[in-house]
Structure 1
Amino acid sequence: MSTVEFQERETSLGWQREAAEETIRGHGVIVAEYFDEGYSRRLPWRERPAAAQLMAAAEQPNCSFDAVVIGEYERAFYGDQFDAVLTALRAQGIQLWLPEAGCPVNLDDPVHQALMLLLGSQSRREVLRTRHRVLAAMHIQTRVQGRFLGGRPPYGYRLADAGPHPNRAHANWGRRMHRLEPDPATARWVRWIFEERATGRSVAGIARELNERGIPCPSSADQDRNRHRTRHEWIVRTVVGILENPRYTGRQVWNRHGARTVAPTHQRAPVRPAARGRAESEKLTHPALVDEATFLAIQGMRATRPTKYGGTRTYVLAGLVQCQLCGRRLDSHWVNGRPGYRCRHGHTSARNRPPELAKNVYVREDHLLNDLSARFAETAGDDAAAIADYLRSNDLTIIYGGPTREVKACSPQCGLATIAETAGGSCRYSDLASTRRSMG
């Protein structure tokens, strides 16, 4: 059974076993049972624990069974999974029985071939139809009704009772609707974040002051709903998430990060480029913590903030430089009118720097390009973009920082060679795949 919240194990297992026993009555007995809970039929058998155990048992030389019986095809297979499973079982001399066939499946039989095609198409159709209906219904409930559809309330809000469930059957079971209302303990800090950002204050500065004041971050303020969070401090990404969340304007939002495109139907200006599949309520559904004009101004301020000289900064080696001390990728960093790369070893502007933390690692881009040009002159020339493309296409990364002063290059093609010495630290070039494995 694919879900554990809405299905009962005893009932689901019971009727599937009954169907299996009816299929083999008079031919044999069930000697082992495999039942997966909470795993979608779309997953291959090797990725479902019980199904993977079944396949492993079938491959043993002393296997205790000579046939596999499926209680219901749609619960076991999706798409072309049946062919793969049947082929693997037949290679071990094990039959595959289905209630729809009433006997072992034989793909050499045209009738069985047609039956398998029909069952496979039906299983796929059932999944797609259910998914479409659910997503379409949730989209309408959010956009037209402004319903809260579950999940954690945003920081600054708490859940309040909104009356009986509109579905009569659910209401008879005692289910209630919920809505968002400002949380007295945290709502004022959300307002403060928007006010500070509207004055032009940096996101990092806001996060740093919240930490200095000891204000509980979202994971600390609601630990029961954030048990998966291990760090309890404000970070820049948390503040950005609050500033980008349109629910603080009083509108209900669902599926902000979905995978489908649904154009908004209301006529107000979009808060930001519409997320794929996102649905926004046409009317206000809960008290706002920021007015819409301020919210829109903040989004534009973040998206269009120019550099000091009005140009665009380009970092040719972005993502290609790795810290030798801690293994992190060096951040692109503009200093004195030129590009460079630095690593702060996990330190962010949202908190004060620990005294025991190692010094920042920094390297200028032109120094790296000079070394790379000398090393890869024959293969990539001296063009910066060509050198970067060569590194990426050959899975090479630059390891920088450390006690030595060597510039080394090593790759599966060229081996190891010392190129030059620098005064700013060590820099070597290594195979990216092996580096990732060693960081593990």
Structure 2
Amino acid sequence: MDLEPAHRFIVSSPPLPSRSAPSSTAPVDVLAQWMTTGKPSQPSPLPQPHGGLRFAFYGRTSTLRHQNRVSSHGWQRDMADHLIMGRGQIIADYFDAGTSRRTPWPQRPQAAQLMATITDPNPAVDAIVVGEYERAFTGNQFSTIYAWCTRHRIQLWLPETDGPVDLGKRDHRALLALLATQSQREVLRARHRVLAAMHNQATQQGRYLGGRPPYGYQLADAGPHPNPGDARWGRRLQRLSPDPHTAPHVTWMFRQRLAGHSIASIARNLNDRGIPCPSSADPHRNRHRNQGAWTLRTVAVILANPRYTGRQTWNRRGTGSTDPTSKPALSVKLAHPALVTEHDFVAAQQTRAARPSNDGRTHQFALAGLIHCGICHRRLDSHWNHGRPTYRCRHGHRSTQGPTQTRPKTLYIREDHLIDQISIRLGDQTTTGHNEPAPNRTQPSRIATALRTSGTFVICDHAGCRLETINST
């Protein structure tokens, strides 16, 4: 069978240093030969395989930021070339850059192309060769790919086995089990070391560990990098410094909160005064956001950020594990200028604008989600008012914005009044004359169960209420 041109199977984007098969007419590098043997020798043609296997090389690198793609590809390819020397030649090259080893092969771009090439009715390769086990596999990935290769009669070569893998051999099975465990251990050790170092840098050194600076701060130079090697390369540390344009607004928010104002009123005041929200004040670092106004969540997040006290934090959403590196980190000393004192920050977290219920019980809303507005077609919000459950619709109005003249009047519905009306419409004879409830009046939970079972919703407006089912015409 005639082989198609090899360049059809070579991955061309992005380009990597080309590697051509050895040729009997290729010139010999005399200097390289002297460096290897210590003395010059007569040029001789390199050995050329005759009838060898057709290999597809596969390699991978995790990141492009901390690893050089060309270098990583180079040493992995060198290992593969040395492994198959005299046994065949590599005619296809597949290399995944910026792909985690945890990603399954079918989800890796280049690995998926390799698998598609092999599943072709007339595959152009006889075997897959990798430069290092850990670069290609982790966990149970090897057993899955090995079984897949066996079904397609493709060999899988590893440097660790010095040739094709044969799980029928006991020593190969033991070696692959050891490599799988070692690969997992490498990931866990690297993760633990990185997290432990970052935890220490945040707590003991108060170092800024990256990310977008909080609203009210900007990045400032903090001197050369403490690692001498990084310092020689010109790397420098950064720290948080108050932003003269936004820091006063953060201080004002904490003062308002300590005065008893609600988060909604703070956000509404900021919008009314035209104060730029975080995504508007720093659009370059917030390209994923298009909200141009203050929201309740934005104000709440700012008021709950302990970095405004001047102490650095990291991993605030800890996993709760017993491992110290997985817990939230707080610097032991001030790392940057504070915008609020620690005493005021803690007091702001304990401030409530709304009064708690006098009886301490949880409020129950039996008809929640069953009442729709006949004006704007929204579901009514559950609202506790004057010690009883009520429902309201503000027709899209938000607490962070002032009311407009064109907005319809807010709709308020008392649950007990609504229960009486629904009972009459459902034919429940539990009321007496003059709309006075009887002693054995229908319970709200019973009405809610009947509505949900029949797929019925309550449509309310200022004129009254009506019942509608989902499949009613």
> Shorter-chain-normalised TM-score: which range?
0.7 to 0.9
Which residue in 2 is equivalent to 1:334?
A: 384
Which residue in 2 is equivalent to 1:311?
A: 360
Bigger CA radius of gyration:
2
| Amino acid across the alignment from 2:345 | F
Which residue in 2 is equivalent to 1:417?
A: none
Cα 1:333–1:21 shift into 2, 3 Å: farther
| Amino acid across the alignment from 1:250 | G
Deviations 1:57-90 (A, max 9, x none): 3333333323222222112211111111211222
Which residue in 1 is equivalent to 2:234?
A: 174
Q: What TM-score do you get using the length of structure 2 for normalisation? A: 0.71
C-alpha displacement of 1:233: 1.5
| Amino acid across the alignment from 1:295 | F
Give the alignment partner of residue 226 of structure 1, picking from 286, 297, 301.
286
Q: What is the rounded CA distance, in whole Å, between the counterparts of 1:401 and 1:76 in structure 2? A: 60
Asked if 1:148 corresponds to 2:208, the answer is: yes
Cα 1:71–1:227 shift into 2, 3 Å: same
State whether residues 262 and 279 of structure 1, in contact with CA within 8 Å, keep that contact through their aligned partners in structure 2.
no
- Greater Cα shift, 10-19 or 350-359: 350-359
1:75-114 to structure 2, matched below 5 A, reads 75-114=135-174
| Amino acid across the alignment from 2:330 | E
Cα 1:276–1:127 shift into 2, 3 Å: closer
- Greater Cα shift, 167-176 or 354-363: 354-363
Give the alignment partner of residue 160 of structure 1, picking from 220, 241, 244.
220
Which residue in 1 is equivalent to 2:7?
A: none
Cα 1:352–1:59 shift into 2, 3 Å: farther
- Greater Cα shift, 11-20 or 347-356: 347-356
Which residue in 1 is equivalent to 2:118?
A: 58
| Amino acid across the alignment from 2:327 | G
Which residue in 2 is equivalent to 1:432?
A: none
| Amino acid across the alignment from 1:159 | L
State whether residues 130 and 158 of structure 2, in contact with CA within 8 Å, keep that contact through their aligned partners in structure 1.
yes
Cα 1:136–1:49 shift into 2, 3 Å: same
Q: Which runs of 5+ in 2 are unaligned?
A: 1-60, 427-442
Give the alignment partner of residue 17 of structure 1, picking from 72, 77, 85.
77
Give the alignment partner of residue 305 of structure 2, picking from 236, 245, 248.
245
Cα 1:361–1:251 shift into 2, 3 Å: same
Q: What is the rounded CA distance, in whole Å, between the counterparts of 2:321 and 2:204 in structure 1? A: 18
| Amino acid across the alignment from 2:71 | T
- Greater Cα shift, 212-221 or 82-91: 82-91
Give the alignment partner of residue 350 of structure 2, picking from 297, 300, 306.
300
Q: What is the rounded CA distance, in whole Å, between the counterparts of 1:297 and 1:251 in structure 2? A: 17
State whether residues 323 and 361 of structure 1, in contact with CA within 8 Å, keep that contact through their aligned partners in structure 2.
no
Which residue in 2 is equivalent to 1:129?
A: 189
Give the alignment partner of residue 177 of structure 2, picking from 117, 121, 135.
117
Which residue in 2 is equivalent to 1:290?
A: 340
- Secondary structure, counterpart of 1:158 in structure 2: strand
Cα 1:103–1:218 shift into 2, 3 Å: same
| Amino acid across the alignment from 1:101 | T
Asked if 1:38 corresponds to 2:87, the answer is: no
- Secondary structure, counterpart of 1:62 in structure 2: coil
Q: What TM-score do you get using the length of structure 1 for normalisation? A: 0.76
Q: What is the rounded CA distance, in whole Å, between the counterparts of 1:198 and 1:263 in structure 2? A: 36
1:178-193 to structure 2, matched below 5 A, reads 178-193=238-253
Q: What is the rounded CA distance, in whole Å, between the counterparts of 2:366 and 2:98 in structure 1? A: 44
C-alpha displacement of 1:213: 1.0
Which residue in 2 is equivalent to 1:206?
A: 266
Q: What is the rounded CA distance, in whole Å, between the counterparts of 2:373 and 2:89 in structure 1? A: 62
- Secondary structure, counterpart of 1:423 in structure 2: strand
State whether residues 263 and 300 of structure 2, in contact with CA within 8 Å, keep that contact through their aligned partners in structure 1.
yes
C-alpha displacement of 1:208: 1.1
Cα 1:341–1:49 shift into 2, 3 Å: farther
Deviations 1:224-247 (A, max 9, x none): 111111212211100000000000
- Secondary structure, counterpart of 2:160 in structure 1: coil
- Secondary structure, counterpart of 1:126 in structure 2: helix
Q: What is the rounded CA distance, in whole Å, between the counterparts of 1:318 and 1:277 in structure 2? A: 41
Q: Which runs of 5+ in 1 are unaligned?
A: 265-274, 375-381, 404-421, 430-440
1:249-398 to structure 2, matched below 5 A, reads 249-261=309-321, 277-302=327-352, 306-315=355-364, 331-339=381-389, 347-352=397-402, 384=445
State whether residues 315 and 332 of structure 1, in contact with CA within 8 Å, keep that contact through their aligned partners in structure 2.
no
C-alpha displacement of 1:2: 1.2
State whether residues 318 and 326 of structure 2, in contact with CA within 8 Å, keep that contact through their aligned partners in structure 1.
yes
State whether residues 419 and 444 of structure 2, in contact with CA within 8 Å, keep that contact through their aligned partners in structure 1.
no
Which residue in 1 is equivalent to 2:20?
A: none
State whether residues 340 and 362 of structure 1, in contact with CA within 8 Å, keep that contact through their aligned partners in structure 2.
yes
- Secondary structure, counterpart of 2:292 in structure 1: coil
| Amino acid across the alignment from 1:15 | W
- Secondary structure, counterpart of 1:100 in structure 2: helix
Deviations 1:203-233 (A, max 9, x none): 0111111111111111111111111112122
Q: What is the rounded CA distance, in whole Å, between the counterparts of 1:121 and 1:215 in structure 2? A: 55
| Amino acid across the alignment from 1:194 | F
State whether residues 97 and 104 of structure 1, in contact with CA within 8 Å, keep that contact through their aligned partners in structure 2.
yes
- Greater Cα shift, 232-241 or 352-361: 352-361
Q: What is the rounded CA distance, in whole Å, between the counterparts of 1:88 and 1:262 in structure 2? A: 40
Count of aligned pairs: 391
Q: What is the rounded CA distance, in whole Å, between the counterparts of 2:253 and 2:357 in structure 1? A: 25
Q: Percent identity?
A: 51
- Secondary structure, counterpart of 2:350 in structure 1: helix
C-alpha displacement of 1:365: 6.6
Which residue in 2 is equivalent to 1:267?
A: none
Which residue in 2 is equivalent to 1:48?
A: 108
State whether residues 320 and 398 of structure 1, in contact with CA within 8 Å, keep that contact through their aligned partners in structure 2.
no
Q: What is the rounded CA distance, in whole Å, between the counterparts of 2:272 and 2:286 in structure 1? A: 22
Q: What is the rounded CA distance, in whole Å, between the counterparts of 2:231 and 2:367 in structure 1? A: 55
Cα 1:383–1:358 shift into 2, 3 Å: closer
Q: What is the rounded CA distance, in whole Å, between the counterparts of 1:331 and 1:193 in structure 2? A: 27
State whether residues 322 and 398 of structure 1, in contact with CA within 8 Å, keep that contact through their aligned partners in structure 2.
no
Which residue in 1 is equivalent to 2:295?
A: 235
Deviations 1:151-182 (A, max 9, x none): 11111011111111111111111011111111
